[in-house]
Structure 1
Amino acid sequence: MTILELLGSLIAQGAGWCKVGKKNLIHDEEPDTITGFVRSKDVDYLPKVTDSGWNGDSIIYSHQKGEFDAFYGLPLRHLPMGLISYAPIGLVNMFNSGGAIKDLAYEFTRNNSVISLRVRGCGNFRFYASVSPSKITVGSNRVEFAYNKDHCLVTF
């Protein structure tokens, strides 16, 4: 099921707005569960926002807010030698979390990897990382962060 098919299913789930009564009318009190899947290849624009070194690997991030969900397909980047994979998700309190990321760069040496981001706004920032970072700095200040090893999710 593509995203458009899923949206079509959501619209046809048995409820609708009544213009006369100015309220939602429920036609089916116990509708079936809507199921489907989301694939990063359904995101047509994804290859256009990556660099030429992107090999097609990606992650899906689920926003999970309220009665809806928004899914984001993010290109998974690999640092040289394939030792570390990462994907910045952004400021997750925003509906368009990745819109806060203005610039992304990395430096790699034999003993050290540095991922640098320029972000507009403030709030709860997350990114996917295959390994826990040794430290995170905002400006020149070191900040505390959490690393969820099961989901490879860094939050600060």
Structure 2
Amino acid sequence: LKIFNFNKFGGVIAAFNCQGAGWSPKEHRFKGYKDCYQTVSGTVHVSDIEWDQNPEAAGSQMSYAGDYLVYKMQSEEILFMNSKSDPIQITLEPSSFDLFSFVPVTDLGSSGVRFAPLGLINMFNCVGTVQEMEVTGANSVRTDLKGEGRFMAYSSSAPEKCYLDDKEAEFLWEEETGKLSFYVPWVEVSGGISHLSFTF
């Protein structure tokens, strides 16, 4: 089973292995039949998301033909994909699942930095925690989040400065993968909204 959903700044595909589960007329409930359990294989592609069906995405960068950052929840792996890329091959064990989050990669003008916010990756729909994103200059970007947890983004270069609600924040940046991450606390006074900004 493969389903998709939209977010304001991305999309998500969920893949489930439901083999061996079904309705039991005798017990009047869904149950597993272990003798029917089996591994399933399939593919995931950015084109599986019907971007043009989302009013917020139509005509925006969400449905563009550039690169998307893909985040695989179970392995925390990130990779890149565009409309012409080969699909991602997946194999799911019985009663297992994986989530694939897609975020357009933004080029920050003359700085040459490429940036894509994944949001709070402790949430199943991590991209759904991204409330706003705005390029504020050739070397800066602002992101608003809702929630608490581990924020992650892709950044092709390490930021010179990172700010969380106007206070400089420590961050971790992995040169090999471009993963940029740090912890975001819950802000009660703002209803859980945090303001992040990055300068390169």
How high is the TM-score relative to the length of structure 1?
0.76
Q: Give 1:151 deviation, angstroms.
A: 2.0
Q: Give 1:75 deviation, angstroms.
A: 0.8
Secondary structure of residue in 2 paired with 1:27:
helix
Q: Give 1:19 deviation, angstroms.
A: 5.0
Instruction: Give, in whole Å, the separation in 2 of the partners of 1:127 and 1:95.
Output: 15
Cα RMSD over matched residues?
3.3
Question: Larger relative CO (CA 8 A, sep 6+): 1 or 2?
Answer: 2
Identity of aligned residues (%): 26
Instruction: Give, in whole Å, the separation in 2 of the partners of 1:95 and 1:8.
Output: 12
**Is residue 2:140 matched to residue 1:133?**
no
Report the equivalent of 2:145.
Answer: 119
Amino acid at match of 1:58: Y
Secondary structure of residue in 1 paired with 2:127:
helix
Amino acid at match of 2:131: K
Instruction: Give, in whole Å, the separation in 1 of the partners of 2:142 and 2:126.
Output: 17
1:57 pairs, out of 64, 67, 73, with 67
2:47 pairs, out of 38, 41, 44, with 41
Task: Select between 74-83 and 92-101 the one with higher mean Cα deviation.
Answer: 74-83
Name the CA shift for 1:55/1:108 in 2 (closer, same or farther; >3 Å). farther
Q: List alignment gaps of at least 5 residues for structure 1.
A: none
Contact 1:43 1:73 in 2 (8 A): no
Name the CA shift for 1:87/1:137 in 2 (closer, same or farther; >3 Å). same
Instruction: Give, in whole Å, the separation in 2 of the partners of 1:150 and 1:128.
Output: 11
Q: List alignment gaps of at least 5 residues for structure 2.
A: 4-13, 76-94, 183-200
Provide the aligned length of Structure 1 versus Structure 2. Answer: 148
Report the equivalent of 1:96.
Answer: 125
Name the CA shift for 1:35/1:57 in 2 (closer, same or farther; >3 Å). same
Instruction: Give, in whole Å, the separation in 2 of the partners of 1:49 and 1:141.
Output: 35
Q: Give 1:64 deviation, angstroms.
A: 1.8
Regions of 4+ moved over 4 Å: none
2:107 pairs, out of 63, 67, 78, with 78
